[in-house]
A and B are shown apart, each in its own frame.
Chain A
Amino acid sequence: MNNLNLTISSSPHIHAKHSTASIMQNVLIALLPALAVAGYVFGVWALALVAICVVSAVTTEAIIQKLCKKAVTINDWSAVVTGVLLGFNLPINAPWWLAVIGSVFAIAIVKQCFGGLGQNFMNPALAARAFLLASWPTRMTSTAYIPAYDTVTTATPLALLKSGDLTNMPSTLDLFTGLNGVYGCIGEISALALLVGGLYLIFKGIISWRIPTVYLLTVAVFAVLVGQDPLVHIVSGGVMLGAFFMATDYASSPVTPKGQIIFALGCGLITMIIRLYGGYPEGCSYSILLMNIATPLIDRFTKKKIYGVAKKKKEVQA
């Protein structure tokens, strides 16, 4: 007999090269353009806020996993993604402690309480944003919009749209690039940068085209139907960030192809209903959170047709 030290394992014996960490790293790469625009327009404090979020999120994850005597999985980069996304959802003059509290809430309550990575039923960054919005509404909204050349705060484009104050409305092109004046939270100002990142994720096969496409189309069609400019609705507010980076969160969105379409349709509808008829100027985050809750149900009713199983199975009574 020979003394080979052979590994025994069940097939398959080869695996795709990607990993959870590589997927998360790609998401971060996709977020870089938007982060760069934020740094360019808002200055260093924007980057600092995002960094505070990242550090708080990663630290919280490590501490909780240590306390629960579980393997510390901060090297999967998922807490970093959550941190960056939460940072993107903060207004530029948010105090540092708001970033910390939001990150702790996102990781401790929304993610780890439900079992950690992949088990959270809501998008942690969005749930944290909703939590901050409910707890410190003035800090989260009133100062959300600062023109780059001025320290005077004004309403966001969507608030202008809602109030009917169209004279102060920035041009659609400005809304699209986000470079010429600032209209919103740190990460949502440049639709172009987010689009570039989003397309990168689709190209890399990390997210499917279904959720972003259907989400944006629903918003556009809804806008046309009520006689508003569909482009303005797509490029302003959080829709671009939401469609590519929030609604596509694996854990809290459906896995079935049909389910993803229904989910995105729901997100688009609720976003527009809140924008046009609700109390808030923007409804992107609430729409996604609401659809997150419906995800298990959607998955259940949109199962694929299984190979060799007839569509309508008639049980023969014995």
Chain B
Amino acid sequence: MNVKHGTFRGGIHPPYGKESTAAVPLEFGEKPKMVTIPMSMHIGAPCTPSVKKGEYVYLGQKIGEPNGFVSVPIHASVSGKVVAVEVRPHPSGDRVMSVVIESDGLDILEPSIKPYGSLEKMDAESIKNMILNAGIVGLGGATFPTHVKLTVPPDKKVDSIILNGAECEPYLTADHHLMQTQAEKIVLGLKVAMKAVDVEKGFIGIEDNKGEAIEALTKAIGNDLNLEIYSLHTKYPQGAEKQLITAITGREVPSGGLPADAGVVVMNVGTAAQIAESMTTGMPLYKRLLTCTGDAIKNPQTLEIRIGVSFQSVIDQCGGFISEPGKVISGGPMMGVSQFETEVPVIKGTSGILCLTKEFADVSIPSNCIRCGKCLSVCPIHLEPLNLAAYSQKNKWKQCEENHIMDCIECGSCSYICPAKRTLVSSIRVAKREIVAQRRKGN
């Protein structure tokens, strides 16, 4: 089994900050006393709570009913009593309808849960149903419902599945740990997904700074000739869907299109592991790996945490703050969302909790663009962020659209590299939102 290499054009080399957690053994989080489970943890329609205050729920019991095709059910991550069904703060910054469960500490399993059996016994339809019923969404952070992703429109020809193990976000090591400890599960999950989409080829892309992960997965694949591992140049945003596809297949996703238009379906390695887990145990998605790190954290580490546990509880399990935090971020430093408070729950898409000290959190005041062109040379989509941001600030939405602003993947490389500290990607986001709103109005 030889490992192939790949990369893309553009990108940046931020300080990786992974050293503090990459070598620390994976921990299992404490059994939570209280969980707050929001009814919106995926892209698509939020769920409707199917339990009432005072009701007893089992671990793995469905507590949120999906609405529509692009939606997945939500399950209890502990057994115990529902103490509230109300609007609570959410790591997106919004306030969302949530089910609050007080754990009885017994983890009594929902009686109907049983293993689905082996891959041989399942067909594409039953796999997709299983994935839907297990509430599985993209665990890389985008949280797109996985059963939808695996349902390829009939007019598109998909020939392979790519597993994303790049983990290009600095600081985060959740996927790194997962690939080292659960390589077999990831490979099984990949095979299940390949069967669901009916493709022959499967790829796993990993950044070349994760040698142990590449080794573990190479071993797990054995001599299966249909599966290949790609060692990818360590560069941000190597794990962005489009850049990953190009690095591995050499194909480009057409502007405005989906990966399926380039003949592939892309999934996070965590999602694949969850598919395998759900198939072999019957358990829905109720826990995940996340990295709690940053220079404000005493013992940075990657842990397995149940959905609904508060950020504060995770931080406490990591020894709490060693210095006053200036910023708490859900996700990584490049694309994560900064939080108002730490009493927000871990959700399906929470890949990390990053706590930075005041010094790190300082927001510099932007100065004049000096036209150095660095943003243009790092943009992985080959856009001209300096011009797009300038159009956006002048409300020139039409010029924004003509210059392909909608193709921006918001990776933030431009803002990172800007010596004048201009908030390029923020200006671009504003324009994109405005354009989407106008398009809706037009329809």
> A-side interface residues toward B, CB under 8 Å?
1-2, 4-16, 18-20, 22-23, 73, 76, 78, 115-119, 208, 250-251, 255-257, 303-310
Contact = CB atoms under 8 A, between A and B. Distances in A.
Given A20-B370, A304-B376, A308-B253, A13 B336 contact: yes
Given A13-B329, A23-B419, A308 B242 contact: yes
A307 B415 contact: no
A4 B336 contact: no
Contacts of B254: 308-310
Given A6-B325, A13-B333, A309-B404, A119 B368 contact: yes
Contacts of A8: 93, 338-340
Nearest to B312: A2
A12 B341 contact: no
Given A2-B343, A11-B412, A14-B334, A306 B407 contact: yes
Nearest to A256: B376
Given A76-B367, A255-B386, A12 B333 contact: yes
B376 A16 contact: no
Given A7-B326, A250-B373, A309 B368 contact: no
Contact of A11 (B257, B325, B335, B404): B335
Interface of A is mostly: loop
Interface core residue of A13, A117, A305 (most chain B CB under 10 Å): A13
Nearest to B254: A308
Contact of A14 (B170, B256, B367): B170
B376 A2 contact: no
A1 B324 CA distance: 16
Interface string B379-397: 0111110100000000000
B419 A20 contact: yes
A7 B361 contact: yes
A10 B423 contact: yes
A11 B424 CA distance: 10
B380 A4 contact: no
B382 A250 contact: no
B255 interface: yes
A22 B364 CA distance: 15
Contacts of B415: 11-12, 15
B295 to A, nearest CB: 11
B389 to A, nearest CB: 12
Contacts of A12: 333-335, 412, 415-416, 425
B418 to A, nearest CB: 8
Nearest to B411: A12
A307 B381 contact: yes
Contacts of A19: 364, 419-421
Given A6-B339, A11-B415, 10 more contacts: A7-B361, A11-B425, A73-B367, A255-B376, A304-B384, A305-B382, A306-B382, A308-B257, A308-B407, A309-B255
B422 to A, nearest CB: 10
A307 B252 contact: yes
B5 to A, nearest CB: 20
Interface in B213-247: 242, 246
Contacts of B257: 308
Contacts of A1: 341, 343
B426 interface: yes
A305 B328 CA distance: 38
Contact of A250 (B324, B371, B416): B371
A256 B385 CA distance: 12
Contact of A22 (B12, B382, B419): B419
Nearest to B14: A14
A205 B373 CA distance: 11
Nearest to B367: A20
Contacts of B195: none
Nearest to B89: A1
A306 B327 contact: no
B1 interface: no
A260 to B, nearest CB: 8
B3 interface: no
Nearest to A14: B333
A12 to B, nearest CB: 4
A7 B363 contact: yes
Contacts of B425: 10-12
Contacts of B421: 15, 19
Nearest to A309: B255
Contacts of B328: 4, 6
B341 A255 contact: no
A210 to B, nearest CB: 11
A117 B419 contact: no
Interface in B155-183: 170
A308 B381 CA distance: 8
Contacts of B335: 11-12
